């Protein structure tokens, strides 16, 4: 969770700005977001989003794992927080296959850099 006494780092700010570009009804992956930022670490992206003090304005729930499963949410990888993430995405029109993966047509493409 975020430390309310610590302002976001420059890297975290860049992650939040890019995440704001993911429109309602679309998701991106930690890897795609990292690639758009020139960062090769999906884990670093996940850690920045875990600290997101600007939700829901920074829609971190719209970032999923590379295999299109939910990944994590609010510092959790299972349980009620993941169910909440799925509900939020479904309310925005995101659709899932029978294995619980986001359908490919719901993926957001960042402009080439």
In a domain? residue 46: yes
Domain annotation covers residue 1: no
Is residue 109 situated within a structural domain? no
- Is residue 97 a part of any domain in this protein? yes
Determine which one of 21, 39, 60, 106 is catalytic.
60
- Full residue range of the structural domain in which residue 39 is found: 10-103
Assigned domain for 3 exists? no
Determine if the pTM surpasses 0.85: yes
Q: What is the pLDDT of residue 3?
A: 58
Give me the chain's average pLDDT, please. Answer: 93
CA distances, 91 to each of 15, 17, 19, 86 (Å): 24, 23, 18, 9
For residue 31, give both structure tokens.
């890897």
Domain total in the chain? 1
Does the residue 110 lie in any domain? no
60 included as an active-site residue: yes
Q: What is the CATH number of the domain that holds 37?
A: 1.10.10.10
Calculated CA dihedral for residues 57, 9, 107, 94, nearest 10 degrees? -30
Q: Are 27 and 108 in contact (CB under 8 A)?
A: yes
């Amino acid at each position: 969770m975020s430390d309310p006494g610590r302002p976001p780092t420059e890297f975290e700010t860049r992650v939040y700005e890019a995440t704001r570009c993911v429109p309602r009804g679309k998701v991106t992956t930690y890897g795609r977001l990292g690639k758009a930022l020139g960062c090769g670490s999906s884990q670093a992206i996940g850690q920045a989003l875990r600290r997101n003090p600007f939700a829901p304005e920074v829609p971190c729930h719209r970032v999923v794992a590379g295999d299109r499963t939910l990944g994590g949410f609010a510092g959790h990888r299972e349980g009620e927080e993941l169910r909440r993430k799925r509900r939020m995405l479904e309310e925005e029109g995101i659709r899932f296959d029978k294995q619980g993966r986001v359908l490919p047509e719901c993926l957001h493409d960042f402009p080439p850099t």
